[in-house]
Structure 1
Amino acid sequence: MTNTNWNPGSPAMKTETEYFIAQAVKVGIIQESHLKDLQNGTMTTDRLIGLQITIQQRRSK
């Protein structure tokens, strides 16, 4: 299986995802490097899904 870079094709989806990740960085749930990878186009789809799960789990504690 190859990892592909996340490319939603929708500017609104990209904006909302960037906001979601930025908020998690702001409150210290994940590191800023994840946001930078999303912004520069190196975030893989698999990694983004994993981050979503991690953020949700850490917020629920």
Structure 2
Amino acid sequence: MMDVRTIKVGTHLKLQEGVIAEVIENMGDGEWLQVRCLQSPARPDEVGTVELCHAQDIFKVLNQ
């Protein structure tokens, strides 16, 4: 599991299932981020939605 405390707002992440998301808030607890979905190959209707993302769901930090 990744420690997400240092991930800044605006960072793009690659999540499970190829989802690309942008961090819009870091909760500061080392586990949770609020993200906006930018790309979702399996579920395109989720693009633009906002949800919480747990550190274990992060596959890769794309930029910071």
Specify if TM > 0.5: no
Q: Larger % of strand: which?
A: 2
- Identify which of structures 1 and 2 has the higher relative contact order when contacts are C-alpha pairs closer than 8 Å and 6+ apart: 1
TM (normalized to structure 2)?
A: 0.26
Larger CA Rg, structure 1 vs 2: 1
Q: Larger % of helix: which?
A: 1
